[in-house]
Amino acid sequence: MTVSVATLTGTEAQIDEESLEELRMMVRGDVLTRNDPGYAAVRRPYNAMHPGTPSLVVRPTGTADVVVAVNFARSRGLVVAVRGGGHSIAGLSSVDGGMLLDLGRMDGVDVDPDARTVRAQGGALIGDMDHETQAFGLVAPSGIVSDTGVAGLTLGGGEGWVRRKYGLSVDNLLSAQVVGADGQVRTASADSNPDLFWALRGGGGNFGVVTSFTFRCHPVGPIVAFAGVFHPAEDAENVYPRFRDWAQSAPDEISALIGCTTLPASENTPPEIHNRPFIVTGALYTGDPLEGMKIIQPLREIGTPLADISGPLPFVAVQAAFDEFYQRGTLRSYWKSTYVEELTDPVLDLLVDRALNRPHDRVFVVAFQMGGAINRVGAQATPYSERSANWMVSIDGNWLDASDDDRVISWFATHGPGCTR
Ligand X SMILES: Cc1cc2nc3c(=O)[nH]c(=O)nc-3n(C[C@H](O)[C@H](O)[C@H](O)COP(=O)(O)OP(=O)(O)OC[C@H]3O[C@@H](n4cnc5c(N)ncnc54)[C@H](O)[C@@H]3O)c2cc1C
Member of 93, 133, 214, 269 binding ligand X (CB under 6 A): 93
Task: Kindly tell me which of 221 and 305 has the beta carbon lying closer to ligand X.
Answer: 221
> Taking the complex as a whole, how short is the minimal distance between the CB of residue 198 and ligand X, in angstroms?
15
Task: Kindly tell me which of 282 and 359 has the beta carbon lying closer to ligand X.
Answer: 282
286 alpha carbon, distance to own chain's centre: 20
Task: Kindly tell me which of 86 and 292 has the beta carbon lying closer to ligand X.
Answer: 86
Q: What's the DSSP call for residue 376?
A: G
Amino acid at 219: P
The C-alpha R_g of the chain, in whole angstroms, comes to 22
Q: C-alpha distances in angstroms, 46 versus 49, 70, 323?
A: 9, 24, 12
Q: What's the DSSP call for residue 314?
A: E
201 binds ligand X (CB under 6 A): no
Binding segment (CB under 6 A) for ligand X, from list 8-16, 137-145, 215-223, 370-378: 137-145
Member of 50, 59, 83, 244 binding ligand X (CB under 6 A): 83
Binding segment (CB under 6 A) for ligand X, from list 55-63, 139-147, 270-278, 375-383: 139-147
The DSSP secondary structure of 197-216, one letter per residue, reads HHHHTTS-S-S-EEEEEEEE
Sequence-ordered list of residues with C-beta below 8 angstroms from that of 190, at least 6 positions apart, any chain = 197
Member of 60, 104, 141, 160 binding ligand X (CB under 6 A): 160
Member of 87, 201, 358, 360 binding ligand X (CB under 6 A): 87
332 binds ligand X (CB under 6 A): no
Member of 32, 67, 73, 210 binding ligand X (CB under 6 A): 210
Binding segment (CB under 6 A) for ligand X, from list 22-30, 81-89, 301-309, 347-355: 81-89
Task: Kindly tell me which of 120 and 306 has the beta carbon lying closer to ligand X.
Answer: 120
Member of 159, 171, 252, 253 binding ligand X (CB under 6 A): 159
> Taking the complex as a whole, how short is the minimal distance between the CB of residue 349 and ligand X, in angstroms?
26
Distance CA 266, CA 282 (A): 19
209 binds ligand X (CB under 6 A): yes
> Taking the complex as a whole, how short is the minimal distance between the CB of residue 78 and ligand X, in angstroms?
14
Q: Is the dihedral of CA 410, 86, 168, 224 positive or negative?
A: positive
399 binds ligand X (CB under 6 A): no
Beta carbons of 269 and 230 less than 8 angstroms apart: no
Distance CA 307, CA 309 (A): 7
Sequence-ordered list of residues with C-beta below 8 angstroms from that of 143, at least 6 positions apart, any chain = 126, 153, 158, 159, 160, 169
Distance CA 201, CA 155 (A): 6
Cβ-count burial 77-94 (b if 16+ within 10 Å, e if not): ebbbbbbbbbbbbebbbb
Task: Kindly tell me which of 159 and 252 has the beta carbon lying closer to ligand X.
Answer: 159
Beta carbons of 118 and 126 less than 8 angstroms apart: no
> Taking the complex as a whole, how short is the minimal distance between the CB of residue 103 and ligand X, in angstroms?
5
5 binds ligand X (CB under 6 A): no
Beta carbons of 131 and 320 less than 8 angstroms apart: no
Q: Other C-beta atoms within 10 Å of 154: how many?
A: 28
Alpha helices, DSSP H only, in 120-186? Answer: 126-134, 150-156, 163-166
> Taking the complex as a whole, how short is the minimal distance between the CB of residue 18 and ligand X, in angstroms?
29
Member of 149, 359, 371, 416 binding ligand X (CB under 6 A): 149
Task: Kindly tell me which of 88 and 281 has the beta carbon lying closer to ligand X.
Answer: 88
326 binds ligand X (CB under 6 A): yes
Member of 127, 158, 305, 371 binding ligand X (CB under 6 A): 158
Task: Kindly tell me which of 29 and 149 has the beta carbon lying closer to ligand X.
Answer: 149
- How are beta strands 99-102 and 80-83 bridged, if at all? parallel
155 alpha carbon, distance to own chain's centre: 10
Distance CA 254, CA 164 (A): 7
What are the phi and psi torsion angles at 387 (to 5°)?
A: -125, 25
Member of 27, 46, 229, 382 binding ligand X (CB under 6 A): 46
Binding segment (CB under 6 A) for ligand X, from list 2-10, 57-65, 151-159, 289-297: 151-159
Member of 69, 124, 140, 144 binding ligand X (CB under 6 A): 144
Task: Kindly tell me which of 103 and 352 has the beta carbon lying closer to ligand X.
Answer: 103
Amino acid at 183: G
127 binds ligand X (CB under 6 A): no
Member of 15, 67, 73, 89 binding ligand X (CB under 6 A): 89
Q: Which residues bind ligand X (CB under 6 A)?
A: 46, 82-89, 92-93, 103, 122, 143-145, 148-149, 151-153, 155-160, 205, 209-210, 326
